[in-house]
Structure 1
Amino acid sequence: MSDDQVVPTENSPLKETIEDKLFLVKYKPDKDSHIEVDQEKFKADTLKAVLFICPAKVYELNEETGECMVAFENCLECGTCYVSCPEYVVWKYPRGGFGVQYRFG
């Protein structure tokens, strides 16, 4: 190991989980969602990738109906869902003053 490599320790920030990092994010949710899912196209998608790619776990499968439930209030506005599933996810930025507000960089 070279001298310039960083080795994570027990209390190192490199050991933080995604949940630890999401705790630092502040949200100001709007009353209206900035995300829509075309449920018919979602149901036809065999991979349903949107359920797995979102780092904030905004999308969840309703086992009874087969529909995609959207917790838009948790959205990090990263656009991963829009890029990965444009055929059934309609995503836009929230109205001004609403949405995610990052703290600590």
Structure 2
Amino acid sequence: MIVLQIARIIANFSLFLDLTDDDTLDPDEAVEMMEQLAVDLQQLDKGFLRELIDAFTVIAPEYSGEAQRLVRNMAYHFYLEEALAADDPTRLAELEALRAARDD
């Protein structure tokens, strides 16, 4: 499936930005790119975004250690479920409560 291939591309790019040491990659530039990636992902077609969110869970076992955890949580870190629920205040409130509970 193409969504799995795209999920791998996004995951690899994100992992590069997140896990590369500060001597190799300017941390401010990495943060800026991660923020732009988040915006771009949130603007995807809602149907494809749902498939992509699910694909991160499918491909996560292909990675190990910290990388696996980051890929599994990619939708969380990029606020992708919130992007899907943008027109549903009830669902947004649920997601906010889940996020608050998880961050405690």
- TM-score normalised to the size of structure 2? 0.25
Give the greater-gyration-radius structure (CA). Answer: 1
The one of the two structures with greater contact order (alpha-carbon pairs below 8 A, sep at least 6) is 1
Q: Which has the higher strand share?
A: 1
